[in-house]
Structure 1
Amino acid sequence: MMEVVNVKMMFLKQRQKKLSSGVKNWQGHLTNISIRLQVEDKNNLPEIMDKHKLNNNEELNAINISRGKTLENLKRRKFNKCQSLMACILCINLQYNNLTNCAAEMIGKLLLESTTITDLNLMCNDIGSHGAKWLSKALQFNRSVKNLRMNGNKIGNAGGMHFATMLQLNRTLESLDLGDCDLETQSLIALATVLHHNKTLRAIDVGRPIIHTIQEEATVHMAHMLQVNQTLQELHLIKMEMRNFGIQQICDKLVHNHSLRLLDLHCNQISSDGAKSLAKLLKHNTPLKILDLAANRIEDDGLVCISDALRYMNDQLLALSVARNNISGIGLMALANALKSNNTLTNVYVWGNNFDESASIDFANLIKAGRLKPKRTDISPYWIDGRVYLSELAHGLQMYYYWTPLYGDRDEAACNANTYLLKEPNTSISQIDIEESIDTSSFEGDQTF
């Protein structure tokens, strides 16, 4: 029986010295390299690690990388030496290093030979359009990689076009992250066009592109794609400079879509008119489970419309984020009242708005009654001199994506709720509430809100 085990390599700062192989070790900073191995017997792992010298103070023979040094010095004989190890690697995580186009070329050649690697994380390196070309060419023939993260690599418009070409031929990739890659309108349109026919991709992130016009051509093409594509489940459109016209186009087409579960519109320019279009969409009770509207400007009018739609006409939405939307007490109280009637919406994130005393009391009562669980919201009530106030909790739909805290325990279910809510919607509530109990002692027993 094959088992999957995790191995984390940590290269510590040390003096420059020659190893037995004659390769000089790099005097760099602390660097983490994570790999996942598939082995027949977990008890044999120490043997495998010893055979391939997988220890904390030597170079990883399979992947030789440290901060400040790229893969240009990776010797071909190293690949030949560790073929048996490569045959059982499932996941390679090289995020936050200094990989360049040369490294991407070698990784591309590795993907052409590998039949086991399913996850490749290259986020936040120095890979450009040439490196994207090598990776996309390799993925045209690779039949094992399912998840690829390229976010933070400035591959530009040319790199985006290479990945669009790849998606025409690749039939195994399920998740592609091209956020913060300096894509432009041309490559966004190409990706949207390809997704008319691609039936395997389940999630795509094209956030923070470089947009030079206000005509929202890319958004319109994404909307038309959603009308045709019935397999895409996650769409991240962060920092797209989307306005009310763009969200209206998306909502009109989403009425005919039966697959999308997550729509991420974080940090755009959607106002109350755009929120009204979203409210009309929610009234159609589409399969949408997660809606992220954080850092827009829907204000009171927008949230009142959305709340009215959620009160009686939608039983599908599980999570809603309206944090930092310049909403005051009127809109927040409307949402609190909707939660009393809607029992499906479990995750609500509202921090960063203008809470008055009435809104604070309403949300404090929802938490006290158990309608809102502490792990499913980003606020926590407290009181001073008999008056209720709200404080922020570090919870959200996707908190730990570009960073993770240095101290304390990571509560993935509370901080990255997206992942858990999309696994199995029917059982997601129990997954998030594992080992969670409401601490009623945090409320004063005789306190009335």
Structure 2
Amino acid sequence: MLPGSIQITGEALSGAEIKDICDSLKENSVRLLSVRGCQLSDRDFGRVCRGVAESHSLAQLNLNLGVVSNINRTKQLADALKANRSIQTLFLHGSPLLDAGLVALNTALSTHPSLVSLDLGDCMLGDEAMGLICGMLPPDGAKSGLRELTLSANPAITTKAWARLAIAVAHSSQLRVLNLDYNPLGDQIAGMLAVAVASSRTLEVLDLEGTGLTNQSAQIFLDMVENYPTCLRVLVLAENAISPELQQQISDLLSEGEEEEEKDSEARGSALPPREKPTWVPHSNSSSQVVLLTSGLGESLLAETEM
């Protein structure tokens, strides 16, 4: 029997339900486990972590919306991740990790052999955490790193730390999707990110929705996509003080670049396999933008963008 999924949202989980979850994990019959926003005792959380540690089938773990509610749970999760070898996607969106929590998780996250997608949105992170996150984006020629990273809504991170992230992105050999929406970045950091995008040979999706940008940033991105080759396919600029005309120009140029790449690939024939393409859907807040929902990166499954 192929591994299935367990998805529960916003419920108080009983001991019997936790036992069923743990049994399924230990029997390797679960590929996706989501208990987002659920309430469970500290004892039961520890039981789930032990099940995660023993599972060989679990590819996606969703603990969004406060399930990892204190430092003790964070340490239990870290121990589980150190033992687990199969998880590829981890959602911790809306967990009060703080910098101390990421310090506790750092070794487990940075050395996990399969993890390629990580959501740390709205985790109350600061500059110390950002330094550790940059270490998860190794430079070209180093070990494999994250392919998808979400850092939405972490307003305590300073300009200096965002600049450090931009440098890491520029040299990362793996990162394809970067979600920075709802952070107070401003035009200065956006300019640094434009340089990082131009330098990256892999980044395809950059979400800058609601990040305090103006037409100044948009003009920089427009110049970049108009005059320099880039892997970027999607740039989300909704809910910024940017004119619809500029957003449309950027979107059109990105679409043209993708069409030209497809034509070049066809002209070269089938000697090389086509590059993996993400799956897109229209962004709800802007007719001219598109935003990533499913990535197609290895075994990475459904991604979330929760606020």
Q: Larger Rg: 1 or 2?
A: 1
* Structure 1 residue 339, shift from structure 2 partner: 4.5
2:171 aligns with 256
Conserved? CA contact 1:243–1:269, under 8 Å: no
Are residue 418 (structure 1) and residue 293 (structure 2) matched? Answer: yes
Conserved? CA contact 1:282–1:310, under 8 Å: no
CA distance in 1, matches of 2:76, 2:191: 37
TM-score between the two structures when normalised by the length of structure 1: 0.55
Are residue 223 (structure 1) and residue 223 (structure 2) matched? Answer: no
1:236 aligns with 150
Are residue 151 (structure 1) and residue 64 (structure 2) matched? Answer: yes
1:317 to 218, 232, 235: 232
Task: Rate the CA distance shift 1:377–1:145 in 2: closer, same or farther, 3 A.
Answer: closer
* Structure 1 residue 291, shift from structure 2 partner: 0.8
* Structure 1 residue 272, shift from structure 2 partner: 0.5
Runs of 5+ consecutive residues of structure 2 not aligned to the other structure:
260-279, 299-307
1:208 to 122, 138, 142: 122
* Structure 1 residue 95, shift from structure 2 partner: 2.4
Conserved? CA contact 2:238–2:289, under 8 Å: no
* Structure 1 residue 97, shift from structure 2 partner: 2.3
Q: Give the number of aligned pairs.
A: 272
1:200 partner amino acid: S
Are residue 121 (structure 1) and residue 34 (structure 2) matched? Answer: yes
1:298 aligns with 213
CA distance in 2, matches of 1:126, 1:174: 24
CA distance in 2, matches of 1:129, 1:394: 45
**Could you say which structure has the greater relative contact order, defined with CA pairs below 8 angstroms and 6 or more residues apart?**
2
* Structure 1 residue 282, shift from structure 2 partner: 1.4
1:190 aligns with 104
Note the aligned Cα RMSD (angstroms): 2.9
CA distance in 2, matches of 1:281, 1:315: 10
CA distance in 2, matches of 1:293, 1:130: 39
CA distance in 1, matches of 2:152, 2:72: 20
Instruction: Output one character per residue of 1:112-166: Cα deviation in whole Å (capped at 9) or x when no partner.
Output: 2x12221112112113544332222222121111111111243223222222222
Give the stretch that moved more between structures: 99-108 or 202-211.
99-108
1:223 partner amino acid: C
Conserved? CA contact 1:206–1:238, under 8 Å: yes
Conserved? CA contact 1:203–1:232, under 8 Å: yes
Where do residues 371-390 of structure 1 align in structure 2 (5 Å cutoff)?
376=282, 378=284
Task: Rate the CA distance shift 1:135–1:335 in 2: closer, same or farther, 3 A.
Answer: same
CA distance in 1, matches of 2:20, 2:74: 20
* Structure 1 residue 100, shift from structure 2 partner: 5.4
Instruction: Output one character per residue of 1:188-209: Cα deviation in whole Å (capped at 9) or x when no partner.
Output: 2333333332220121112212
Task: Rate the CA distance shift 1:102–1:266 in 2: closer, same or farther, 3 A.
Answer: farther
Instruction: Output one character per residue of 1:320-340: Cα deviation in whole Å (capped at 9) or x when no partner.
Output: 11111222x3xx544444455
Q: Sequence identity, in percent? A: 19
SS of structure 1 residue aligned to 2:171: coil
Runs of 5+ consecutive residues of structure 1 not aligned to the other structure:
1-37, 39-87, 347-373, 380-391, 398-416, 426-449
CA distance in 1, matches of 2:76, 2:28: 22
Task: Rate the CA distance shift 1:195–1:251 in 2: closer, same or farther, 3 A.
Answer: same
Conserved? CA contact 2:176–2:205, under 8 Å: yes
CA distance in 2, matches of 1:375, 1:146: 24
SS of structure 1 residue aligned to 2:136: helix
* Structure 1 residue 310, shift from structure 2 partner: 1.8
